[in-house]
Amino acid sequence: MQLSEQEVVRREALAKMRDLGIDPYPAERFEVNAYATEIKENFDAEKGNYQEVSLAGRIMMKRIMGKASFAELQDSSGRIQIYVNRDEICEGEDKTLYNQVFKKLSDIGDFIGIKGFVFLTRTGEISVHVKEFRFLSKSLRPLPIVRRVENAETGEVEIFDAFTDPELRYRQRYVDLVVNPEVRQIFMKRSKVINSMRSYFDEQGWMEVETPILQPIHGGAAARPFETHHNTLDMPLYLRIANELYLKRLIVGGFDGVYEFGKMFRNEGMDRTHNPEFTSMEIYVAYKDYDWMMGMVEECIERVCIAVTGGTDVTVGENAISFKGPYRRLSMFDSIKEYTGIDVSEMDEDGLRQVCKDLHIETDNSMGKGKLIDEIFGEKVEDHLIQPTYITDYPIEMTPLAKKHRSKEGLVERFELFVNGKEIANAYSELNDPIDQRERFEDQLKLAERGDDEAMALDEDFLRALEYGMPPTSGLGIGIDRLTMMLTNQQSIQEVLFFPQMKAENKG
């Protein structure tokens, strides 16, 4: 391994610490009772609070001034200045802890623990006066130095030498989180998205469950799976593309409402809104339909938005978006007519192919009616759906798992929620007729024979479950990553995933 000059220096410091009898990676625990941001928000010099604090974190800056020094300590909440005096952290005449360990051998990025009291410096900065010091972990690689300088004229903070290269940031998220504190906020908000949604479901009395990730049949969505092999069983298995069919089995089993937050895996293309591994929430509620589900989604997402942002209005790119319900409702066919001027509702496959040709939309022979309509919608409608909009009543060919529309021939009771030109939720009145479901699966097999590698497989066990009887049910899937993108104003899915999928690293 080729080491940089700075890495060599840090390894030499590591060796010197060991020579001094100081363990650079001690095993004992260090109890923390306060955090940087908490102290800065609540310290009152007149009250004299925070007089016995214990903090731990990384050294992010050092200013050595003889026997006294200032440094910045960064913990999980933020940064705070610390004041270290040689005579107060060293016992008797032994000045090793300060002169050697803190002053000469500690580096930016090292973890330390401190105990002391909070005070105001002469310049009015809240700081911790260190009375005890412990070295907790040596950093052998230098962190990128991001300098934040306040402009004396404008008061604005200017950033220099920022760690901004996207590939480096995504590959080395651990570094990104250390030097770009705003990134942490994205993931804290992501956690709020999930927790507030879970809280809402729990209040309704619905149960969180877990279903298999390794599945013998890839079902529940139209997507290409990842395939693997189980040696003991000597059988192929697939990483799930959806958990829908297992959750509906639980409705058959007698639960009134079940939901799951889980990873899904699709062996498909990657772009700014697609990652092969992503997080979805799916929920199924018995005795409901898709019209009820639209109202529930509005209530749930409005609550999530308030929990994450403090209100229902957010900015996404250049667009101001309101998540306050009710949302606009527009049928699939009406949306195509509105944005293309073409009524495709009565067209056969040949007619749809001609429309695609006229609109310069590429197609291939594997595409049936459903795929062709989906291509027209995707190319000509999606980008216009900025405010939350329900696209409803899809052609039956597009949705093998949804119940036939109760009043519109050839359609199913389905909606997708679009925001800022992207789909973030998909829901049905679930198909619970096992005979109809078998016929739909068989139609999917015909599409697979034509070369559609996203066609659904036929799941005999799921059909058997339906034959035992499933009550009227409404189901919903929400893309957690995309919803988080919108609530944190991020344009790329990689920004809301701790560890997005990347090409193999070129180490040449």
- Angle, CA 353 vertex, CA 350 and CA 355 arms, to 5°: 115
The pLDDT of residue 35: 98
- The dihedrals phi and psi of 259, each to the nearest 5 degrees, come to -145, 160
Residue at 227 is within a domain: yes
Q: Is the pLDDT of residue 212 over 70?
A: yes
Give residue for tokens 């001034």.
65
Average pLDDT over residues 111-128: 96
Residue 84: exposure state from Cβ atoms within 10 A (0-12, 13-18, ≥19) = buried
Mean pLDDT of the region 36-64:
96
pLDDT higher than threshold 90 for residue 9: yes
pLDDT at 61 over 80: yes
Residue 370 has a pLDDT of 87
Domain identity same for 315 and 410: yes
Same structural domain, 200 and 295: yes
Does residue 485 carry a pLDDT above 70? Answer: yes
Does residue 220 carry a pLDDT above 90? Answer: no
- Hey, which residues does 412 pair with through a beta bridge? 394, 404
Whole-angstrom distance, CA of residue 374 vs CA of residue 352: 11
Structural domain includes residue 228? yes
**Domain boundary residue, one of 120, 143, 166:** 143
pLDDT tops 80 at residue 149: no
Which residues face 105 on adjacent strands?
A: none
One domain for residues 83 and 192: no
pTM for the full model? Answer: 0.91
What pLDDT was estimated at residue 365?
Answer: 86
Computed over every residue of the chain, the mean pLDDT equals 93
Sheet holding 277-286, edge to edge: 207-208, 257-265, 277-286, 473-479, 422-429, 411-419, 389-395, 328-331
Could you tell me which of 486, 480, 426, 455 has the C-alpha nearest to residue 275?
Answer: 480
pLDDT, position 160:
67
Q: Is the peptide bond before 400 cis (omega within 30 degrees of 0)?
A: no
CATH of the domain at 19: 2.40.50.140
Interhelix angle for 332-340 vs 369-380, to 10°? 50
Whether 101 is covered by a domain: the verdict is: yes
Whether 189 and 173 share a structural domain: no
Q: What is the pLDDT of residue 162?
A: 74
| 125 & 31 share domain | yes
Q: How confident is the model at residue 123 (pLDDT cuts 50, 70, 90)?
A: very high
Q: Is residue 91 located within the same domain as residue 103?
A: yes
The pair of three-digit structure tokens given for residue 252, joined into one six-digit string:
């058959």
- pLDDT at res. 132: 92
pLDDT band at 93; cut points 50, 70, 90: low
Q: Is residue 364 assigned to a domain?
A: no
pLDDT on residue 141: 95
Give the dihedral sign, CA 9/14/17/21. Answer: negative
Q: Is 388 helix (H, G, I), strand (E, B) or coil?
A: coil
Structure tokens at 196: 């507030």
Examine residue 454 and state whether it is found in any structural domain, yes or no: yes
Residue 4, burial from CB neighbour count under 10 angstroms (0-12, 13-18, 19+): exposed
Statement: residue 412 has pLDDT above 60: yes
Residue 298 and residue 175 share a domain: no
pLDDT at 221: 85
Instruction: Name every residue whose Cβ is closer than 8 Å to that of residue 226 and which is 6 or more positions away in sequence.
Output: 238, 239, 265, 266, 267, 276
Q: Using CA atoms, how far apart are residues 473 and 469, in angstroms rounded to an integer?
A: 11
Question: SS3 of 56, please?
Answer: strand
Cβ-Cβ contacts under 8 Å for 507 (sequence gap 6 or more): none
pLDDT in tens, 236-287: 999 999 999 999 999 999 999 999 999 999 999 899 999 999 999 999 999 9
- The predicted pLDDT at position 23 comes to 94
Angle at 177 between CA 176 and CA 179, to 5 degrees: 65
Same domain, 30 and 166: no
Token pair belonging to 310: 């403090």
> Which range (33-47, 99-113, 150-164, 395-409) has the least confidence?
150-164
Same domain, 171 and 316: no
What pLDDT is stored for residue 444 in this prediction? Answer: 86
- From CA 302, how far away is CA 306, in angstroms rounded? 6
Question: Which ranges constitute the DSSP H helices of 313-433?
Answer: 332-340, 349-358, 369-380
User: Going by C-beta distance under 8 Å and a sequence separation of 6 or more, which residues neighbour residue 152?
Assistant: none
Asked which of 162, 179, 196 is the last residue of a domain, the reply is 179
Residue 347 covered by a domain: no
**In the chain, how many domains are there?**
3
455 within some domain? yes
Whether 306 shows a pLDDT value over 60: the answer reads yes
- Annotate 263-320 with three-state secondary structure: EEECCCCCECCECCEEEEEEEEEECCCHHHHHHHHHHHHHHHHHHHHCCCEEEECCEE
Mean pLDDT of 47-75: 95
Find tokens 């933020």 and name the residue. 78
Residues 283 and 306 in one domain: yes
Q: Is 92's pLDDT higher than 60?
A: no
Distances (CA, A) of 452 to 222, 367, 445: 10, 7, 9
Percent of the chain with pLDDT over 90: 82
Neighbours of 451 (CB within 10 A): 11
Distance CA 72, CA 86 (A): 17
Neighbours of 227 (CB within 10 A): 11
CATH of the domain at 229: 3.30.930.10
Model pLDDT, residue 508: 59
Q: Which helix (H) or strand (E) holds 462?
A: helix 460-467
Q: Domain range spanning residue 202?
A: 183-327+387-496
Q: Which pLDDT value is given to residue 7?
A: 95
Question: Is 381 among the domain residues?
Answer: no
Q: 163 and 74: one domain?
A: no
One domain, residues 170 and 135: no
Residue 486 tokens read as 């919108």
- In angstroms, the Cα distances linking 111 to 26, 53, 75, 396 are 11, 17, 9, 59
pLDDT tens digits for 433-480? 999 999 999 988 888 888 877 778 889 999 999 999 999 999 999 999
